[in-house]
Amino acid sequence: MPTDDDEAWKAIVDNYGDRPTVEDDAPPAAHRPDPAPEPTPPPRERASATWDDEYPDSDWSTDRFVPPVPPPVPTPSPDRHAAWIGVFGSPAILLICLVLQIRVPELVAYLLVAGFVGGFLYLVFTMTREPRDPDDDGAVL
């Protein structure tokens, strides 16, 4: 037995959206003329002068953009390098020993845990408190 809610929903569904109008004198689909071929796009133009001014090391050889060589990856100072080794190396060694069922002496296990905790704390306490760009409010477009 339909309820008022069912009838209301049926009315909403039946009347949802715009209804297309069909012209009475439209030719049948079989007798419609073939569509005209699409025009070909114009050839791609070279980059503007502003792009060349902004990126002078870039290259447009054969209409393909070749980006400039990126700067070298910065290397950390020896103390930060040791801290990163402690953060990633200690758990990796302990995990490998656990998977391969290698018994590690207690002192070595404690030193690996201390290396992880010490490296993590060193990295946290030596973080800069200032943003890299003082005018940056964090918004990204």
Does residue 71 fall inside a structural domain? no
Does residue 26 fall inside a structural domain? no
Does residue 42 fall inside a structural domain? no
17 pLDDT exceeds 80? no
DSSP 70-98: PPPPPPPPHHHHHHHHHHHHHHHHHHHHH
Residue among 42, 40, 66 nearest 55 (CA): 66
30 pLDDT exceeds 60? no
Predicted pLDDT at 46: 54
According to DSSP, the residues that pair with 59 across neighbouring strands are 66
| Parent domain of 94 | 78-125
What total of structural domains would you count in the chain?
1
Does residue 102 fall inside a structural domain? yes
Does residue 85 fall inside a structural domain? yes
Does residue 100 fall inside a structural domain? yes
37 pLDDT exceeds 90? no
Does residue 82 fall inside a structural domain? yes
End-to-end CA distance of the chain: 55
3 pLDDT exceeds 80? no
Portion of the chain with pLDDT greater than 70, in percent: 67
Does residue 83 fall inside a structural domain? yes
Predicted pLDDT at 1: 56
- Using CB atoms within 10 A of its CB, is residue 128 exposed (0-12), middle (13-18) or buried (19+)? exposed
pTM of the entire predicted model: 0.47
